[in-house]
Homo-oligomer: A and B are copies of this chain.
Amino acid sequence: MSKNNKKKIDTKKLVIVISKGTLDMAYPPLILATSAAAMGMEVDLYFTFWGLDLLNKNKINSIKMAPVGNPGLPMPNIVGMIPGMTNMATSMMKGRIKKYWPTIPKMMKSAKDAGVRIHACSPTMGLMKVNEKELIPEVNDIIGASTYLDLAIDADVSLFI
């Protein structure tokens, strides 16, 4: 066996399903993906349901934080109800996040540049009202559940976020 084949066989694989489209749940998979790529792992991200908002040109720049229903946020639910509070909670969280990480569009680009493969889930694209032309250029392809399952079967680490 050539050294090259040996290396290929030893490469560890990370596959993550990304089903959430909120600011706080977008970061964990993107941080893990870029860390894994930096370690030399192969990484596949499968965006489905609300996760497709992160691949949508019209939405990726305005991913929001829910100001209610999240007891971890320092904001009473009654305040979260006031119009504009989703934007305020989002600004507050973005302000905290930017001390540590780039914006979501920049994280996505870094991931792609590091070799992370970005897949859009075909069966949920209609449901999430996004079409092929609205996808960000980082998307490698549009795949279905069985293609995702084949990737996950081969993975050393497989997560659903």
Contacts and interface: CB of A to CB of B under 8 A. Distances in A.
Contacts of A17: 28, 159
Nearest to A89: B71
Task: From A83, A149, A159, name the one whose CB has the most chain B CB atoms within 10 angstroms.
Answer: A149
Given A159-B17, A159-B160, A41 B100 contact: no
Interface stretch (A61-69, A111-119, A131-139): A61-69
Contacts of A64: 71
Q: State the copy count for this chain.
A: 3
Contacts of A156: 152-153
B72 A68 contact: no
12 contacts: A12-B153, A21-B72, A24-B50, A28-B48, A28-B160, A36-B145, A41-B149, A68-B77, A69-B69, A71-B86, A77-B81, A155-B157
Given A28-B49, A69-B69, A157-B158, 4 more contacts: A64-B71, A77-B85, A153-B156, A153-B157
